Amino acid sequence: MPDITIRGAGIFGLATAWACAQKGATVRIIDPNGPASGASGGIVGALAPHVPENWNPKKQFQLESLLMAESFWRGVSDAGGRHSGYVRSGRLQPVADDHALALAQARVETARDLWHGQAEWTLRPASGSPWAPDSPTGQLIYDDLSALLHPAQACAALVGALDAKGITVETDGPSEATSDGPTLWATGIVGLQELNQTAARPMGAGVKGQAALLQYDMAGAPQLYADGLHVIPHADGTTAIGSTSENQYDHLQPDDQLDDIIARARAAVPALTHAPVIQRWAGVRPRARSRAPMLGAWPDRPGHFIANGGFKIGFGMAPKVAETMAALILEGENTVPPGFEVAASA
């Protein structure tokens, strides 16, 4: 009998499986569609912090996770021999006007206090480089906490690391009724839909996102954030742009909204003007009602736990989510922050 059964092989399921395996636990992973078959199989991978102000448990949890990420992904890659695409190369953002400039200057100071010298939020003059968004004030925000990875490659790296420990993703396994031991449900949008069927009010919903991958090599350069878009220079020589946030949708394929994303990215970053599109992607990301990841024991179901609702920040949160869930399930140590509990979305 495994020490833990994990249902769902997206980023939360795979990362928690790795954290449990690191603690010496025997782990069984079951996903009928295989690893990274849903939103975790995406292409963008912006690991970017919330702004350093109005501090709360969600921002603190994310900060700790982002600071853990380099060690976490290095360990995964070393164990399985597959690269996650993780690079902590920072992020550049334009500053639109004098009001935004005053806010950015204030955040330079608050970042010193809230990030405890482990990362910086700074202002720098726009240099006119083609790899920078146009900034009306002539100033750019740069933070060195932001990192990036390639989501599908990161999940493949976790699969490789787990395989090195003899743990594979099974597409078929015992039914819920016959599962022994604790079970973690990290089943993304399908899990949210199942929770909604029995909840007094919706506990979450799916938000469709569309993104594109371009053949343009700026590996090692900072990621860009402009016009509400992430522009991600992957380590493999491609550049991802995204994404839409569609609360209403009637199909799951890329469509003309992605054409608009591509056009906006090329307008914001002219260096991309002639870069060919090599992949168009769409997926449905699980967003919990609380807007924070939904973590912890499943109410009224002893021995069952939930890790869901990663939405746009799931990969950035994954190292800390994995550590938190492994400690809770294997050791009974509950460090789930306020607002992240399952009850917060119920």
> What is the per-residue pLDDT for 295?
98
Q: Which residues of the chain have pLDDT under 70?
A: 175-180
> What is the per-residue pLDDT for 38?
95
> What is the per-residue pLDDT for 91?
98
> What is the per-residue pLDDT for 311?
96
> What is the per-residue pLDDT for 128?
86
What span, in angstroms and rounded, lies between the C-alpha atoms of 219 and 209? 24
> What is the per-residue pLDDT for 1?
85
> What is the per-residue pLDDT for 175?
64
Alpha helices in the chain (DSSP H): 11-22, 57-80, 98-114, 151-164, 188-198, 256-268, 314-331
> What is the per-residue pLDDT for 179?
58
> What is the per-residue pLDDT for 174?
72
- HSE of 154 in the Cβ direction (CA atoms, 13 Å)? 34
Give CA separation, 178 vs 3, 132, 305, 306, 326, in Å: 15, 55, 16, 18, 22
For 197, phi and psi rounded to 5 degrees? Answer: -65, -25
Q: What is the pTM of this model?
A: 0.96
SS3 percent helix, strand, coil of the chain, rounded to 5, is: 35, 25, 40
Fill in the amino acid letter for 38. Answer: G
Fill in the amino acid letter for 15. Answer: A
Measured in residues, the chain has a length of 346
> What is the per-residue pLDDT for 300?
87
